[in-house]
Amino acid sequence: MMLVSSFLDRINQSVGNVIRWTALLMVLLQFAIVLLRYVFGVSFIFLNEGVLYLHSTLFMLGAGYTFLVDGHVRVDIFYAKLSKARKAKIDIFGHLVFLLPAMLILLYWTWPTVQTSWAIWEGPISVGGIPASFLLKSLIPGFCILILVQGVSAIVKDMLVTKEAR
């Protein structure tokens, strides 16, 4: 079971190692936009959309990695005081009842839109923008899949914790 969890973790670890560079690219691109606009007096819509694409990529594909390293915000007034086994039971319940169904529903309902976008090679958001909205929309199923992968890994780990507690 731990081998499965480790394999699933490596998926999000690998994606996280690549995606983290989008933050640097986004900052550099925004700096270039400001420099071009205020020093040289020129502006390009596709550069502005580039920041949007990088920002979306960072957050959508980085969510699984954030889940892996437990970096999401928690409101855990009562949860923090519980034993490791009780936390694991609550997490298993939350992942099975809320997380996995929510991601499957989101994946199910957005898939036709993504398919259509790819079928027509959907163009830019704005005139003069990046002619690849289909790529931006593809981040949604990517997000769902990476969260599902990490959710299954978390369930496996939590099941092992509850088994050890017995």
Q: Which pLDDT tens digit goes with each residue over 71-114?
A: 988 777 888 889 999 999 999 999 999 999 999 999 999 999 99
Question: pLDDT-derived band of residue 155, with 50, 70 and 90 as boundaries?
Answer: very high
For the chain, what is the domain count?
1
- Distance of alpha carbon 53 from alpha carbon 30, whole angstroms: 12
| pTM confidence score | 0.93
Give backbone dihedrals phi and psi of 78, rounded to 5 degrees, phi first: -95, -35
Distances (CA, A) of 84 to 47, 89, 111, 112: 47, 9, 37, 41
Quick one: what percent of the chain has pLDDT higher than 70? 100
Question: pLDDT-derived band of residue 33, with 50, 70 and 90 as boundaries?
Answer: very high
Count of helices and strands (H, E) across the chain: 6, 0
Distances (CA, A) of 14 to 19, 31, 64, 97, 164: 9, 28, 11, 27, 29
pLDDT reading at 69 higher than 80? yes
pLDDT of 17? 97
Q: Which domain holds residue 55?
A: 2-165
